[in-house]
């Protein structure tokens, strides 16, 4: 019996160390939903440490016993906080603000991911596998431009540059 208890204790302790520390940018409904999804998915292997938000009315409050920090506070303590990933869970961010956040995270070796828009949630629900790395289109806030290489090739074929 003691062996089983000891084994379970060590297994649980070891599994806690395998979790990555993440922060969620956005203390609104999308951020809260993201935290719940991560907490309830046994495959997520992440521990949400705190939320970050630009809304001054939310700063220094808590959601599900997790503090809400300003981005400035987070930026000042980034090294000490040891966050490996920042999940952007806010739909109201401008492209300029997203770029500022991503630039800071990249310069501090923090991975940046984002949640899908509401309309892309599978069957009306959101799961951990839908959290993806940030794409250039997310920062540009426009669709990808597709170039028809064949058509361009036809137009410049047999022409000289001068």
φ/ψ (deg, to 5) at 62: -130, 150
Place of tokens 């999940």: 87
Terminal-residue alpha carbon distance, the chain? 86
- Cβ-based neighbour number of residue 17 at 10 Å: 6
pLDDT interval class at 79 (50, 70, 90): confident
Long-range contacts of 65-69 (CB under 8 A, 24+ apart): 66/35, 68/27, 69/23
- Nearest residue to 48 via CA among 67, 61, 30: 67
φ/ψ (deg, to 5) at 157: -65, 135
Share of the chain above pLDDT 70, in %: 67
pLDDT in tens, 26-67: 999 889 988 988 888 777 788 899 999 999 999 999 999 999
Q: Which of 67-71, 97-101, 134-138, 143-147 has the lowest mean pLDDT?
A: 134-138
Q: 83: Cβ–Cβ under 8 A, 6 or more apart, which residues?
A: 21, 22, 23, 49, 74, 110
| pLDDT of amino acid 62 | 95
> How would you classify residue 60: left for phi > 0, otherwise alpha for psi between -120 and 50, otherwise beta?
left
For the entire predicted model, the pTM comes to 0.69
pLDDT in tens, 112-126: 888 877 665 555 565
CA 48 to chain centroid: 11
Q: Taking a C-beta distance cutoff of 8 angstroms, is the pair 41, 19 a contact? A: no
d(CA 152, CA 142): 23
């Amino acid at each position: 019996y003691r062996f089983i208890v000891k084994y379970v204790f060590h297994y649980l302790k070891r599994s806690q160390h395998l979790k990555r520390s993440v922060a969620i940018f956005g203390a609104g409904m999308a951020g809260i939903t993201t935290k719940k999804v991560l907490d309830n998915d046994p495959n997520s292997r992440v521990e949400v440490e705190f939320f970050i938000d630009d809304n001054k009315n939310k700063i220094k409050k808590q959601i599900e016993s997790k503090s809400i920090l300003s981005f400035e506070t987070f930026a000042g303590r980034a090294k000490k906080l040891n966050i490996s990933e920042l999940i952007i869970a806010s739909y109201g961010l401008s492209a300029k603000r997203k770029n500022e956040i991503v630039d800071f995270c990249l310069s501090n070796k923090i991975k940046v991911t984002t949640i899908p828009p509401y309309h892309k949630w599978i069957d009306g629900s959101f799961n951990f596998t839908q959290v993806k790395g940030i794409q250039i289109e997310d920062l540009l806030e426009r669709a990808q431009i597709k170039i028809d290489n064949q058509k361009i090739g036809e137009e410049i074929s047999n022409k000289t540059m001068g």
